[in-house]
Amino acid sequence: MSLLAVSSAASRLYESAQTALGIVPEHAESINKELRIERLFVHPIKSCRGTSVQEAHFDEGGLHYDRSWLIIDAKTHKFQTARDLPKMVTISPSMDVAANLLRIEVPNAEEGQGSATIVETPLEPARADVEQMELIKDIELWGTQVDGYAVSAEADAALTTFFGKQVRLVRKGPARRNAGLDDPRGDESAMHFQDFYPLLVATSASLQHVRETLLASVHSSSLLEQPRPRDTNSGQVDASSAATPESQSASGEKVPPGGWDVSSQGSTDAQKEKVTAYKVPNGVRREYWTPEVLAQFEIERFRPNILVGDASAPGSIEKEAGEHGHWQESQGLVPWEEDSWTHIEVFSPTEAKKGLGFGSQVEGKGIGIECCIRCARCLVPSVDPKTGVRDPHIPYLVLQKFRQVQPEMAKIGKPCFGMLSSPCQAQGTLKVGDTIRVTRTTDPAKRTITMTKKK
């Protein structure tokens, strides 16, 4: 057994002993909570608009059809994403499973100049059709080569016109593509055209905290009647980039070191989390980023597959005994508690009605999902999904102020939102409303990312 495995086992034994004595680590509080799948999203073409679905089948590579298609440069075969071509997010693929079609709505290159172009391609092409497709084997995706079938000349033409450069649309080829180095499946892992892991799990509580932080930061002058310095022992990362004592907000108010603390007005007692108002540049478009717009800041910008929410009203008494046989009072999701999750189990409502335990009582009895690492974010969340225009400040600059929580990624200025994850089963089905149990957690401060493959 490796030293890492011994250390991990010892840590779990220690935490189990603590819990048995009634000393529950803060990061383990998720284990006794009632959670559910609030929304599901499939993004058929990488970096293009996603689709909210009520249920989704999955295989070892992720949700069916999620990032199964990719736009590449026609000459270099390098993958194209909204990082470089922001208006990709305005392309709308939709799945018609009954007709076995992926319909791709490509906007007119010049806004207001005619209707969109609709291109169709099979969701599941017949084997004979696949054999006639060109297989491109040297597609460059994050420094590795992957394969893909060229979809059609019609799709290539529509996308080339839209981007004003020669591109092609490809569907994932037959070669196995391994997931990231922290996927416990190792060399048996698989994914489609996702960046590094097959699934992205996020929570509605963390989204709400982002909304409130953006609101406090952009409109601090109207929200903060009695500003007070934040707790400098809160563990916030990137304090050095926060406002200086003599800096001022756009309205001329002096900003204390690290910004202001404001209470979370839109959360329940169980969900309250300190909200800090950070200094933002004077150039922030406040006429666009109104309180109403920020209150509805879209989860779609973060492109998750699974959005987790509370299964019951906060403060209600659950009808299940907790991990250690005690009745548990539901506390509701707390922002960023997903940072601690390492394993969750998903159960259908029918299974949940039969009665479920918590924690280790249910591990291996549902659909298992490993939460591998935090998701370090690029600039794509700053791209308006309606217009394809990237904002120079919101939300990325604010996220950098309080969500550079993974040391390896903080070195390059990347904030984190969501957990990159992988399925434990080879196939299955997830549905909105399914019950989620967190069965294993870890101290978020101790999470690491494996950056290079061990020899």
Q: So what's the pLDDT on residue 453?
A: 81
Number of neighbouring beta carbons within 10 Å of residue 17 = 10
Nearest C-alpha neighbor of 167 from the set 69, 270, 28? 69
Kindly give, in sequence order, each residue whose CB lies less than 8 Å from that of residue 199, ignoring residues fewer than 6 positions away: 58, 62, 63, 305, 306, 369, 420, 421, 422, 423
Tokens 């900003």 found at: 255
* CA dist list (Å): 295 to 313, 372, 413, 418: 21, 30, 26, 19
Cα four-point dihedral sign 241, 243, 247, 251:
positive
Q: Phi and psi (nearest 5°) for 235? A: 85, 10
Q: In Å, how far from its chain's centre is CA 435?
A: 19
Strand partners, 348: none
- Chain mean position to CA 389: 20
Say what the pLDDT of residue 19 is. Answer: 53
Q: Note the pTM of the prediction, 2 decimals.
A: 0.84
- Nearest-angstrom CA–CA distance, 375 and 437: 21
Torsion 103-306-237-314 (CA) sign:
positive
d(CA 194, CA 176): 13
The pLDDT assigned to 177 comes to 97
Answer yes or no: are the C-beta atoms of 262 and 216 closer than 8 Å.
Answer: yes
* Residue count (the chain): 455
In whole angstroms, give the CA distance from residue 58 to residue 311: 22
Q: pLDDT by residue for the chain (455 residues), tens digit each?
A: 443 344 445 455 555 555 555 566 888 999 999 999 999 999 999 999 999 999 999 999 999 999 999 999 999 999 999 999 999 999 999 999 999 999 999 998 776 566 899 999 999 999 999 999 999 999 999 999 999 999 999 999 999 999 999 999 999 999 999 999 999 999 999 999 999 999 999 999 999 999 999 999 999 865 544 343 343 333 333 333 333 333 344 334 444 444 444 444 444 444 456 899 999 999 999 999 999 999 999 999 999 999 999 986 443 333 444 443 333 444 689 999 999 999 999 999 999 988 899 999 999 999 999 999 999 999 999 999 999 999 999 999 999 999 999 999 999 999 999 999 999 999 999 999 999 999 999 999 999 999 988 76
Q: Which helix (H) or strand (E) holds 416?
A: strand 416-423
- What DSSP string runs through 344-412? EEEE-HHHHHT----GGGTTTSSEEEEEEEEEE--SGGGB-TTT-PBPSSTTHHHHHHH----HHHHTT
Give pLDDT, residue 221: 60
Token output for 300: 């779609």
Bridge partners of 136, per DSSP, are 148
